[in-house]
């Protein structure tokens, strides 16, 4: 049985003037199925997720630490891209010089979506790596997915996502910093003294606020040093982030 959204799309294309063969090529749905749907013969899935057609999701059963970390990674460096047949790809881009982080991201994706293959690939001559996984359910797990860049639209967490941030705020911050943050050594007094400092940079004001909210939960003090950047410099707060994040590797 098929989700009603696929049937509606096929019938809309037919009303738009496409023939059966053209609809099958555009949607990836078998020609015989297209013919049956256009003729009004179909069995709709009524017991599944209305968005992706999977069995109903129980978001309370996700692995908390892995999901909170992956949520932070997705909000920073992740995209969800559509493919034929209603399949979506979670794609995360990471600098190739951080193999430990790449491995941690791949493990988190595999833990959150254990039935799906996780691919890690690097194009020759490129200094970045792409971690990807394909599933119809990714937009349900990350409902922040939408058209355009994240900083051009509203980014809000659902109630069940907030539950994971409250449960694992350190892992959420870890994911955000692994995607859009860094730990640096600030030099002062003409380089005679240096102290560690964390930065988190993101163009989305909403995602910046999510970082601040999570820091409040774990007791990390911060300040906005620029419009798109947040700094953590107090010694006790840096020490706390060192326990949770540490240098990127």
Share of residues in the chain with pLDDT > 70 (%): 90
pLDDT at 209: 96
- Domain membership flag for residue 230: no
- Domain membership flag for residue 170: no
Number of domains in the chain: 2
Residues 71 and 139 in one domain: yes
Q: Which of 13-22, 26-35, 137-146 has the lowest mean pLDDT?
A: 26-35
Range of the domain at 24: 4-38
Q: In which band, very low, low, confident or very high, does the pLDDT at 56 lie, cut at 50, 70 and 90?
A: confident
Share of residues in the chain with pLDDT > 90 (%): 53
Compute the average pLDDT of residues 134-147: 90
- Domain membership flag for residue 70: yes
Q: In which band, very low, low, confident or very high, does the pLDDT at 58 lie, cut at 50, 70 and 90?
A: confident
Chosen domain end from 145, 167, 192: 145
Asked if residue 62 has pLDDT above 80, the reply is yes
> Is this prediction's pTM over 0.85?
no
Q: Which residues pair with 182 in a beta bridge?
A: 199
The bridge status of strand 118-121 relative to strand 128-135 is antiparallel
Q: Report whether 201 contacts 181 (CB < 8 A).
A: yes
Interval 202-246: pLDDT, tens: 999 999 999 999 999 999 999 988 889 999 999 999 999 999 998
Asked if residue 50 has pLDDT above 70, the reply is no
Q: Which of 100-109, 117-126, 194-203, 238-247 has the highest mean pLDDT?
A: 100-109
Interval 66-95: pLDDT, tens: 999 999 999 998 999 888 777 889 999 999
Q: Report whether 4 contacts 44 (CB < 8 A).
A: yes
Ranges assigned E (strand) in the chain: 78-83, 87-95, 118-121, 128-135, 181-188, 193-201, 223-226, 229-232
CATH at residue 95: 3.10.28.10
Q: Report whether 105 contacts 94 (CB < 8 A).
A: yes
- Domain membership flag for residue 243: no
pLDDT, greater one: 19 or 109:
109
Asked if residue 3 has pLDDT above 60, the reply is yes
Distance, in Å, from the CA atom of 131 to the CA atom of 78, rounded to the nearest integer, reads 9
**What is the strand order of the sheet 193-201 is part of?**
181-188, 193-201, 229-232, 223-226
- Domain membership flag for residue 216: no
Compute the average pLDDT of residues 98-125: 91
Residues 69 and 114 in one domain: yes
Residues 112 and 68 in one domain: yes
pLDDT at 45: 53
Chosen domain end from 105, 123, 145: 145
- Domain membership flag for residue 211: no
Distance, in Å, from the CA atom of 130 to the CA atom of 132, rounded to the nearest integer, reads 6
Chosen domain end from 95, 116, 145: 145
Q: Which of 32-36, 115-119, 128-132, 200-204 has the lowest mean pLDDT?
A: 32-36
- Domain membership flag for residue 78: yes
């Amino acid at each position: 049985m098929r989700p009603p959204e696929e049937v509606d799309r096929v019938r809309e294309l037919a009303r738009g003037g496409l023939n059966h063969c053209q609809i099958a090529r555009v949607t990836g749905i078998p020609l015989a199925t297209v013919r049956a749907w256009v003729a009004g013969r179909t069995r709709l899935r009524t017991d599944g997720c209305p968005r992706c057609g999977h069995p109903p999701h129980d978001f309370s059963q996700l692995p908390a630490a892995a999901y909170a970390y992956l949520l932070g990674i997705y909000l920073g460096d992740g995209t969800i891209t559509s493919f034929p047949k209603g399949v979506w790809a979670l794609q995360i881009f990471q600098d190739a010089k951080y193999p430990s982080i790449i491995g941690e991201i791949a493990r988190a994706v595999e833990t959150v979506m254990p039935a799906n293959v996780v691919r890690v690939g690097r194009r020759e001559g490129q200094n970045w790596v792409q971690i990807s996984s394909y599933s119809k359910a990714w937009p349900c797990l990350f409902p922040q997915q939408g058209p355009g860049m994240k900083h051009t639209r509203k980014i809000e967490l659902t109630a069940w996502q907030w539950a994971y941030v409250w449960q694992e705020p350190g892992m959420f911050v870890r994911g955000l910093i692994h995607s859009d943050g860094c730990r640096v050594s600030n030099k002062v007094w003409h380089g005679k003294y240096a102290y560690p400092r964390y930065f988190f940079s993101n163009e989305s004001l909403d995602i910046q606020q999510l970082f601040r909210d999570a820091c409040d939960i774990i007791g990390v003090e911060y300040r906005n040093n620029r419009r798109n950047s947040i700094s953590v410099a107090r010694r006790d707060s840096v020490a706390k982030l060192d326990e949770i994040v540490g240098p990127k590797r």
